[in-house]
Amino acid sequence: MKRIAVSGLIIIFAGLTAAQTPAPATLPFATDVTAEEITKFIDALPKDRVSDRPIRTVEVTGDYRVGVYGVFRPKELPGGSNLHQVNTTEIYFMLTGYATLVTGGSMTDAKQENANWVRGSGITNGVSRRVGPGDVIIIPGHTPHWFSELETDLSYLIFRPDPDNRIPLQ
C-alpha cells in the first residue's frame, strides 16, 4: 500500500508539472524515486537528530525545481516552530509515526535565523491536526508550522516545488 501511495504521488506530481509546460528535449520525461530507494534513504538517516535531506532534486521545466526530501524526526526532539520566508511549498507525505501538526497562526518567541527562515517556540491560534501514515499535508511558503506533540518517531517525505530555484540539483 505504501509503495503504491508513494509511487502514485510521484507520478501525479510529475504529470501535473509536465502538463504545465513541455519539457525541453534535454530533460528526461520523468524522474523516478522508487520505494526501495526511499526506504534505504530514510533508514540511513541519523536517528539522534531531526534529519531533512534531499533524496533527489530536478529542474522540471527550466523555470523551477522540485525536490524530494526524506525526513526522520525522533520523538525526543520535537523541535520548535518554523516559517520559511520563501515561495516554496512543502508537501508532507507521512510514512511512519503519529504526531500533532499545527499550521498557520502566530509564532511565539519568533527569531529570524537567516534571510529566509524564522524559528519560534510554538504557534498560537493555528490549526492542529493529528497526522499519521498515508496523510498528506500541503504547507504553502510563508506559513508557520510546528509539530506540537510527537507520539512516536516520525519518518516522512517532503516534496518541495521551488519556483525560485533555491534548492540545489541532486
**Taking 90 as the threshold, does the pLDDT of residue 83 lie above it?**
yes
What are the beta bridge partners of residue 103? Answer: 127, 145
Instruction: Give me the pLDDT at residue 28, please.
Output: 56
What are the residue boundaries of the structural domains of the chain, listed by start? 2-162
pTM of the model: 0.82
Rounded Cα–Cα distance for residues 38 and 42 (Å): 6
pLDDT (mean) for 141-150: 96
**Whole-number mean pLDDT of the chain?**
86
Rounded Cα–Cα distance for residues 167 and 170 (Å): 9
Residue 2 in 3-state DSSP? helix
Q: What is the CATH number of domain 2-162?
A: 2.60.120.10
pLDDT in tens, 97-120: 999 999 999 999 999 999 889 999
Q: Do 39 and 113 meet the contact criterion of CB atoms below 8 Å apart?
A: no
Q: Do 34 and 147 meet the contact criterion of CB atoms below 8 Å apart?
A: no
Burial 96-112 (b: 16+ CB within 10 A, else e): ebbbebbbebebeebee
Q: Do 124 and 109 meet the contact criterion of CB atoms below 8 Å apart?
A: no
pLDDT (mean) for 140-168: 92
Q: DSSP states of 44-109 as a string? A: HS-SSS-EEEEEEEEESSSS-EEEEEEEEE-TT----EEEE-SS--EEEEEEE--EEEEESSEEES
Rounded Cα–Cα distance for residues 37 and 39 (Å): 6
> Of 82, 95, 78, whose CA–CA distance to 137 is shortest?
95
Q: Residue for cell digits 499550521?
A: 103
